[in-house]
Structure 1
Amino acid sequence: MALLENEVLRQSGKVYLVGAGPGAADLITVRGARLLAQADVVLYDALVTPEMLELCAQAELISVGKRSGQRSTAQEAINALLVDCAFKFKTVVRLKGGDPMLFGRADEELRALEAHGIAVEIVPGITTAVAAAAATKQPLTKRGVARSVAFFTSSTGPDQPEHPALPHTDTMVQYMGGREAAATAERLLAQGRPADTPVVVVENCSRPDERIERLPLSDLARGLEAAHGPVLVMIGEALRLREHQPGLAAGAERAGRGF
């Protein structure tokens, strides 16, 4: 308790949890870009691009990347580093891919900062699902077809079931879905979803190396080849091609299962 009181007496800076958006540097919000330009230190995720970091060239840059299946910074270490930086710098930016409040572990970082009396502000970012819908010109909702959307991930905590229940919704968007997409498709087929349910897979959304693949749910159940970047999987009737919609955009989408 004495330690906490002493830290409160020390003057701390302010921490901003800023959403970087899906990847492209020009998809960050104006507020987010302004804060990057003012930051003394920026702790950034693995999915943040070099172009995005050019917006904060004056700041000290600290990589705290977390990538599935790869060696990465433990969340507890990130929390401690944020607290430490808040007592050393006036303006601290924690730059997160997408939106901080969606699959961004914001709750854990907020708890750590609040426990030390550190002021925090959250700057939202464009979440990847919305950017993927724009990139594919495929609305996630459609009148008379889909009026509900669920964003979910198969990643679970140590005390949670390995395969949590799937959401019951018209359109499903699976974040970090590269490895888990096949299992999701198998479960949906077993639940009675039609085999020809449209699926759109987006890798590296909004980046120069973005890749898009369209396939039926039955093909997704066979699995996807290893991807080289973050993968988002969108499933549902709202994703079916419109009557005059081009099926393949040159250089952006490709047919088949070779994703």
Structure 2
Amino acid sequence: MGFLTVVGAGPGDVELITLKAIKALQGADVVLYDALVNPELLEYAPQAEHIFVGKRKGCYAYRQEQINELIVSRARSHRHVVRLKGGDPFVFGRGAEEMEFAAAHGLTVDMVPGISSSTAVPAYQGIPVTKRGSSESFWVITGTTKEHKLSNDVALAAQSEATVIILMGMSKLSEIVTLYKKQGKSDLPIGVIQNGTCWDEKIGVATVATIEEVVRKRQLANPAIIVIGEVVAHRKIMIQLAENHRSKLEALSPV
């Protein structure tokens, strides 16, 4: 009846895909891939049919119902379908929904986890999501629900001392800032990272009170993640350490 493998492509850098994911691509007959997937990864499946099913700037190549039907029809006609998704398919990736649909229609299903942008993107910028003395936990929240509203969990997270990572939240940045200001956290560090781990990555770091101005000046937009918490200040420490190390190397270099 066919076989579906839902595969996490990682956050953008092609070297962050797993070996197991590469093996799945090499064995694929059809690859259905999303907008946030680095197209270079398709080179691991030269023998397969490649179908773009992603969304860009609110425009859908396929609706979710159509993607579900495409998975089933291609699996029946071609055998092995790889559903390639950015980041990790089980972190706001709808991977579970597609697997349930495929299994209900008789397909054998499997899943290959991916490196999630929620932790990898901050890490690339020297921002840990937890740090002794600064953060004992972290929340990963969708910024926009299926009703196109800000998740109620953001208001709860704003009351905690946890690091908060918000995906798909750029259109709700003003609302997020307002919630944190109400909690008296205007001076809390916050970072916005666009195109994380990719060659065109951009970042803006500020406080809750000033981040909107920084976003405007740096022209930051989707796809981006928002990181809120004291751990964001760690990035400045890492930059200073790197500069000190570079200065020492230059001093040791022969004239």
Distance 1:145 1:182, change over 3 A: same
2:124 is the counterpart of 1:131: no
State which of 143, 165, 169 in structure 2 corresponds to 1:177: 169
TM-score after normalising by structure 1 = 0.84
Decide whether the 8 Å contact of 2:53 with 2:61 is kept in 1.
Answer: yes
Kindly indicate whether residue 232 of structure 2 is the aligned counterpart of residue 239 of structure 1: yes
Find the partner of 1:109 among 57, 79, 98. Answer: 98
Higher helix fraction (1 or 2): 2
Aligned-pair identity (%): 39
**Residue correspondence of structure 1 range 1-259 to structure 2 within 5 A:** 12-158=1-147, 163-166=151-154, 167-168=156-157, 169=160, 170-193=162-185, 195-221=186-212, 224-225=215-216, 227=220, 229-241=222-234, 244-246=237-239
Name the residue aligned to 1:7.
Answer: none
CA contact (8 A) 2:71 2:102 kept: yes
Q: Deviations over 1:172-219 (max 9, x none)?
A: 0011222222221111111222x2211111111111111122111111
Is residue 44–residue 95 contact of structure 1 (8 Å, CA) maintained in 2?
yes
C-alpha separation in 1, matches of 2:192 and 2:213: 14
Deviations 1:14-35 (A, max 9, x none): 1000000001111101000111
Shift of 1:42: 0.1
Structure 2 unmatched ranges of 5 or more: 244-255
Could you state the TM-score of these two structures normalised by the residue count of structure 2? Answer: 0.85
- Count of aligned pairs: 237
5+ residue gaps, structure 1? 1-11, 251-259
What corresponds to 1:256 in structure 2?
Answer: none
Going from structure 1 to structure 2, the CA distance change for 1:161 and 1:48 (only over 3 Å counts) comes to closer
> Structure 1 243/26 Cα, relative in aligned 2: closer, same or farther at 3 Å?
closer
Flag the 1:116–1:74 CA change in 2: closer, same or farther, 3 A. same
